[in-house]
Amino acid sequence: MTTVENVLIYEALERNRIYKENKKKELSDSKRKLKLQKASEKAVATVAKSKIKKTERPKVVTIKKRKNTGEKEVFEEIRNERPHICTICKKNIIEAQARCFTHLLAKGMYPKYRLNKDNIAFVCSVFCHLYLDSLCVWIKQLIKNKIDKWEKITKEWILYQKSIDL
């Protein structure tokens, strides 16, 4: 083979390679366009479906009933027994609502004192409520220690009484 023939073969191979690359680019461009078109069609379809679902199924809100703790009755008794004066600022309380009562010992820590009238104070506003809570933190700690000691003593006394009776 001559060098001219080699050059011609090389040129033919190069043209063929370039042709194939261009063909691939055209295919990939057309594939990319098809993918974009399909994706946009899916997005439109999902938006349409979601709109249909929202109109077909309205949200149902369930309201849970609160458990009766007995506080309402105790609050009513306190409201009838005590003068309507704030424990903190001594203002008159015009309308006694549930927010006007505060527990000196926390309901969560001392559930058995939840309905004890001596544990409930009358306050005029949320500010007095918060003030009483923050003011009594160290007092509550002292009371807690005394209550814990008292409960321990009463338990020991009960055990002692049972041991005598046997």
Indicate whether 17 and 94 sit together in one domain: no
- On whether both 57 and 78 belong to a single domain, the answer is no
Instruction: Give, for all 166 residues of the chain, the pLDDT tens digit.
Output: 567 677 677 777 787 777 777 767 666 676 777 776 777 676 665 555 555 555 556 666 677 777 778 888 888 898 899 888 888 888 888 887 888 888 887 788 788 888 888 888 888 888 888 887 776 666 666 666 777 777 787 788 778 777 776 5
**Is the domain of 59 the same as that of 75?**
no
Residues 113 and 56 in one domain: no
Helix (H) / strand (E) element for 79: namely helix 71-81
10 lies in the same domain as 56: yes
* Count of the separate structural domains present in the chain: 2
Regarding whether 140 and 76 lie in a shared domain, the answer is yes
Q: Are 94 and 37 members of one domain?
A: no
- Mark which of 11, 38, 63 sits at the end of a domain: 63
- Cα gap 122→74, rounded to integer Å: 12
Q: What's the Cα-to-Cα distance from 26 to each of 15, 22, 39, 68, rounded to whole Å? A: 16, 6, 20, 75
pLDDT on residue 62: 73
Residue 78: the pLDDT is 87
Same domain, 107 and 154: yes
Tell me which residue has tokens 């926390």: 106
pLDDT of residue 44: 60
For 19, the domain range is: 1-63
Q: What is the pLDDT of residue 34?
A: 75
Which of 15, 36, 63 is a domain's end point?
Answer: 63
